[in-house]
Amino acid sequence: MAKVDPKRTKEVLDRVERERGMARGWTRIMAERDPDMMERLHDVVMHPLFRRDSLDRKFKYIIMICLNAFQFHEFGVRAQTRAALKMGATEDEILEALQIVGLSNLHGMSTALPVVVEEFEAFKKAQADGAKS
């Protein structure tokens, strides 16, 4: 393995955390071993999700929920559901999109559905708690 500059690793991780709000375990591992590759991956994600604007951000998050559901990725379903709700997505919009995923991947939709409903309830509770403050 090539020698990696720890400053470069920190620079890339700081950017990922600043722009995405988090750097998960695999992100850290990749940055420690190949910060240039991690930066390229980050740029690939950031371009369609945050730099292009033909689609509304809410809709992009709904698409991401469906992609994560299709792949049975619970963490992604939760994170993207939270983001979609914060951007103004409705429960009906998210559920309808998951139903479409269910047309080609019933197991993905059925696995994601309970997770999404938990996030709906948590979002409603947070809003209610915020309104009480």
Examine residue 1 and state whether it is found in any structural domain, yes or no: no
Same domain membership, residue 128 and residue 64: yes
Residue 33 has pLDDT above 80, yes or no: yes
Same domain membership, residue 71 and residue 33: no
pLDDT at 1: 64
pLDDT at 109: 82
Same domain membership, residue 88 and residue 122: yes
The string of pLDDT tens digits covering residues 71-121 is: 888 989 999 999 999 999 999 999 999 999 888 878 888 888 899 999 999
Looking at this protein, which amino acid is placed at residue 79? A
**Average pLDDT value over all residues in the chain:** 91
Same domain membership, residue 121 and residue 64: yes
**Long-range contacts of range 51-60, CB-CB < 8 Å, 24 or more positions apart?**
56/87, 57/87, 58/84, 58/87, 58/88, 58/89, 58/93
Q: Which domain holds residue 22?
A: 6-51
Examine residue 75 and state whether it is found in any structural domain, yes or no: yes
pLDDT at 102: 83
What does each C-alpha distance from 113 to 62, 64, 88, 109, 124 come to in angstroms?
A: 13, 14, 19, 6, 17
Mean pLDDT of 22-45: 91
- Please tell me whether the overall predicted TM-score, pTM, comes out greater than 0.85 for this model: no
Q: At what angle do helices 25-33 and 6-20 cross, to 10 degrees?
A: 150
